Amino acid sequence: MKTLFLSLLISTLLSLSLSQELCNSEDKQVLLQIKKHFGDPYLLASWKSDTDCCKDWYQVECDSTTNRIISLTVFAGNLSGQIPAAVGDLPYLQNLVFRKLTDITGPIQPAIAKLVHLTFLRLDWLNLTGTVPDFLSELKNLTFLDLSFNGFSGSIPSSLALLPNLGALHLDRNKLTGSIPESFGTFKGSVPDLYLSHNQLTGEIPASLGNMDFSVIDLSRNQLVGDASMLFGPNKTTNNVYLSRNLFEFNLSNVVFPSTIENLDINHNKIFGSIPPQMTQLPLQTLNVSYNRLCGQIPVGGKSDTGTPKLSKKTVMVIQLKECMDLILIFSVFNPQSIHEQIGTDCCKAWNQVKCDPTTNRIVSLRMFSGNLSGEIPAEVGELPYLKTLELHKLTNITGPIPTSISNLINLISLTLSRLNLSGPVPDSLSNLKNLRVLDLSFNSLSGSIPSSLALLPEIDILGLDRNKLTGTIPESFGNFVGRVPAISLSHNQLSGKIPASLDNRDFRWIDFSRNKLEGDASMFFGPNKTIGVVDLSRNLLEFDFSKVVFPTTLTNLDINHNKIFGSIPNQMTQLSFLSLNVSYNRLCGLIPQGGKLPSLDYTAYFHNKCLCGTPLESCK
- Rounded to the nearest 5 percent, the helix, strand and coil shares of the chain are 20, 25, 55
- Quote the mean pLDDT of the chain: 87
Query: In the predicted model, what is the mean pLDDT of residues 494-501?
Result: 95
Range with the largest mean pLDDT of 154-158, 295-299, 318-322, 381-385: 154-158
Class of the 352-506 domain? alpha beta
What confidence tens digit (pLDDT) does each residue in 20-47 have?
788 999 999 999 999 999 998 888 888 9
Which pLDDT score is estimated for 319? 37
What confidence tens digit (pLDDT) does each residue in 390-428 have?
999 988 889 999 999 999 999 999 999 999 999 999 999
More confident: 518 or 610: 518
Which pLDDT score is estimated for 18? 43
More confident: 509 or 180: 180
Cα 432 from Cα 458, distance rounded (Å): 10
Contact call for residues 440 and 461 (beta carbons, < 8 A)? no
Contact call for residues 261 and 239 (beta carbons, < 8 A)? yes
Would you place residue 328 in the very low, low, confident or very high pLDDT band (cuts 50, 70, 90)?
A: low
For the beta sheet containing 398-400, the strands, ordered from the edge strand earlier in sequence to the opposite edge, are 375-376, 398-400, 421-424, 445-448, 469-470
Contact call for residues 460 and 433 (beta carbons, < 8 A)? no
Query: In a 10 Å sphere around its CB, with 0-12 CB exposed, 13-18 middle and 19+ buried, how is residue 352 labelled?
Result: exposed
Same fold yes or no, 57-212 and 522-621: yes
Domain ranges of the chain: 57-212, 352-506, 522-621
**b/e burial code for range 290-316 (CB count within 10 A of at least 16 → b):** eebebeeebbeebebebebbbbeeebb
Q: How far apart are the first and last CA of the chain?
A: 68
Query: In the predicted model, what is the mean pLDDT of residues 356-368?
Result: 86
Eight-class DSSP state of 29: H
More confident: 529 or 93: 93
Cα 348 from Cα 555, distance rounded (Å): 45
Which pLDDT score is estimated for 409? 94
What confidence tens digit (pLDDT) does each residue in 242-262 have?
999 999 999 999 999 999 999
What confidence tens digit (pLDDT) does each residue in 552-595 have?
999 999 999 999 999 999 999 999 887 789 999 999 999 999 98
On the question of pLDDT at 335 being above 80, the answer is: no
Query: In the predicted model, what is the mean pLDDT of residues 514-535?
Result: 94
On the question of pLDDT at 115 being above 50, the answer is: yes
Would you place residue 352 in the very low, low, confident or very high pLDDT band (cuts 50, 70, 90)?
A: confident
3-class DSSP assignment, residue 476: helix
Contact call for residues 205 and 229 (beta carbons, < 8 A)? no
On the question of pLDDT at 313 being above 80, the answer is: no
On the question of pLDDT at 219 being above 90, the answer is: yes
Cis upstream peptide for 458 (omega within 30°): no
* Residues paired with 498 in a beta bridge: 519
Contact call for residues 374 and 334 (beta carbons, < 8 A)? yes
* DSSP letter for each residue of 331-345: HHHH--TTHHHHTTS
pTM over 0.75: no
Query: In the predicted model, what is the mean pLDDT of residues 219-240?
Result: 96
Superfamily of domain 57-212: Ribonuclease Inhibitor (3.80.10.10)
Q: Domain 522-621, what architecture? A: Alpha-Beta Horseshoe (3.80)
Which pLDDT score is estimated for 54? 92
Which pLDDT score is estimated for 379? 83
Would you place residue 201 in the very low, low, confident or very high pLDDT band (cuts 50, 70, 90)?
A: very high
Which pLDDT score is estimated for 557? 93
Which pLDDT score is estimated for 209? 95
On the question of pLDDT at 302 being above 80, the answer is: no
More confident: 311 or 239: 239
Which pLDDT score is estimated for 526? 92
Which pLDDT score is estimated for 301? 64
Which pLDDT score is estimated for 41? 86
